[in-house]
Amino acid sequence: MARDTSDTTPITSVADLVERIAGGCKPKERWRIGTEHEKVGFRKFDHTPVPYEGPGGIRQLLEGMEGLLGWEPIEDQGRPIGLLDPTHGGAISLEPGGQFELSGAPLINLHQTATELQAHMMQVLEIATPLRIGFLALGASPIWTLPETPVMPKSRYAIMSDYMPTVGTRGLDMMFRTATVQVNLDFASEADMRRKMQVSIALQPIATALFANSPYLNGKATGRLSERSEIWRDTDNARAGMVPFVFEEGFGFERYVEWALDVPMYFIKRGDTYHRATDITFRQFMAGAFRNRLPGVEPTVGDWDNHLGTLFPEVRMKRYLEMRGADSGSTDHILALPAFWVGLLYDQTSLDAAWDLIKSWTAEERQRLRDDVPTLALKAKIAGRTVQDIGREVVALSRAGLARRAQLNRCGQDETQYLRPLDIILDRGKTEAEVLLEKFGGNLDGIFCALDMQPMGDLGCL
């Protein structure tokens, strides 16, 4: 998230919270695609992480991007921590360990997403190259320990860093050493949200397997193909995971709100100050639990929006749905993630077929699949079928959905082209992580050169 919100509209009831999320409903013609990705920076001359301050640091990179783009700076205690595009709504932000994130603008089709990503990579490299900064196309930083990883000067991260070790064993790894790609998608109604949420929760482990790309940590192979996904299994289970209540009879906006109300908060932001609130839930905040610490402070829409952004289920609901289950990777793979989900969720025929595929899976089967996928990826099984087999079926559904969308570029090509990286993975039966392990084994000397992110190839038809 680039900037915590500060909407001061007061909240007086649970109904206000439900209405806030329900206000995200949009007719199909207004549905958009918002793609976000993180990338792990490194110093090209010695393969060390990029600090915030100093020559060739993250601060210099941000300031260079500000000068190039003319975007508005986002500051925390007077230090730049991101940039906001005031015209189109995109943003650049910093994750806790210096991961450099693009939060893309809401766009109509995947061709626009490709153009946005290409422009971003070219702009970043224009500034980063003279600073001798590269970016790893991986879902986790492969060699640096936690003490070696820099800490970005964002006030919310100090609160999270103190809290994470009290609720799980891998929270600091998640914050400082992982990188993801996600897509944010709209819904038309509560019923449409329900079906999309159920399908995407059930299929999130399939996406995790297809995009598995983090087999290393601390300079060695971990024995898993998505260490990023494994890390999430013990980060903070009160706010993360497969949220099985999504499949309960009558699930809707109110049920999600009731769950979110009982998750501990991280902070309450007033002005430029973050007040620690990890010992209370939002429900307790609404009941006045913070008044003795900060007189006059009452819950606002901004507080609620910020709280929703600190929940980490496999699919997160705000006023849209966030698909959260994939490792970051090359630019082609970053594009494949929104293509996968847009084809499934933005076409009713494919969405219905995906529901038919997953509707008989039990909560226990879904959880077992989630637990198995970080290690087994395509070889994991559910309902007697491998993920590779299910992946073929699901990608075919996505391809059909994209074809029916018939969103063409200027050369007459539709959006199905962006699924090609997944076709390659499924045809060879190996994830990107397995290809890396075959190529490098435990010797990571060449990984920085091999996985230095670059813009895509010829995009002349966009």
For 11-17, what is the mean pLDDT?
97
Query: What are 328-372's pLDDT values in tens digits?
Result: 999 999 999 999 999 999 999 999 999 999 999 999 999 999 999
Task: Kindly report the number of other CB atoms within 10 A of residue 398's CB atom.
Answer: 27
Identify the band that residue 458 occupies on the pLDDT scale cut at 50, 70 and 90: low
The interaxial angle of helices 387-405 and 190-210, nearest 10 deg, is 130
Residue 317: pLDDT over 80: yes
Spatial distance between the Cα atoms of 336 and 294, rounded to a whole number of angstroms: 46
pTM: 0.97
pLDDT on residue 456:
82
Relative to beta strand 100-103, strand 133-136 is unpaired
Strands 240-241 and 312-313: parallel
Residue with structure tokens 């670059």?
454
Q: Report, as an integer, the average pLDDT of 225-248.
A: 98
What Å distances lie between residue 126 and 64, 86, 123, 131, CA to CA?
A: 9, 22, 5, 9
Rounded CA separation 212/379 (Å): 12
Mean pLDDT, residues 284-293 taken together: 94
Q: Does residue 395 contact residue 423 with C-beta atoms inside 8 Å? A: yes
Q: How far apart are the first and last CA of the chain?
A: 28
Give how far Cα 210 sits from Cα of 156, 157, 255, 419, 424, Å: 32, 30, 30, 11, 10
Structure tokens at 89: 């709504």
CB-based contact 261:282 (threshold 8 Å)? yes
Among 234-238, 294-298, 335-339, the minimum mean pLDDT is found in: 294-298
Average of pLDDT values for 395-409? 98
pLDDT at 5: 73
190-224 burial, b at 16+ Cβ within 10 Å, e below that, comes to eebbbbbbbbbbbbbbbbbbbbbbbbbbeeebbeb
Confidence band, pLDDT 50/70/90 cuts, at residue 442? confident
User: Quick check: 219 pLDDT over 60?
Assistant: yes
Distances (CA, A) of 77 to 82, 98, 422: 13, 17, 43
Q: How far is it, in rounded angstroms, from Cα 332 to Cα 184? A: 18
Rounded CA-CA distance 159/385 in Å is: 43
Residue 4 has pLDDT above 80, yes or no: no
Residue 445: the pLDDT is 84
Residue reference for tokens 């100090």:
158
Confidence of residue 460 (pLDDT cuts 50, 70, 90): low
Measured between alpha carbons, how far is 203 from 181 in angstroms, rounded to an integer?
A: 16
pLDDT at 3: 63
Sign (positive or negative) of CA dihedral 112, 1, 307, 333: positive
Question: Cα separation of 430 and 369, whole Å?
Answer: 18
pLDDT band with cut points at 50, 70 and 90 for residue 2: low
Which sign, positive or negative, has the C-alpha torsion 439, 420, 141, 48? Answer: positive
What is the pLDDT, as a whole number, of residue 236? Answer: 97
Query: Which residue type is seen at 245?
Result: F
- For the stretch 184-198, pLDDT in tens is 999 999 999 999 999
Q: Is the dihedral of CA 158, 160, 163, 169 positive or negative?
A: negative
| Residue-averaged pLDDT of the chain | 96
User: pLDDT confidence of 134, banded at 50, 70, 90?
Assistant: very high
Torsion of CA 131, 132, 137, 138, to 10 degrees: -100
User: What secondary structure letter does DSSP report for 274?
Assistant: E
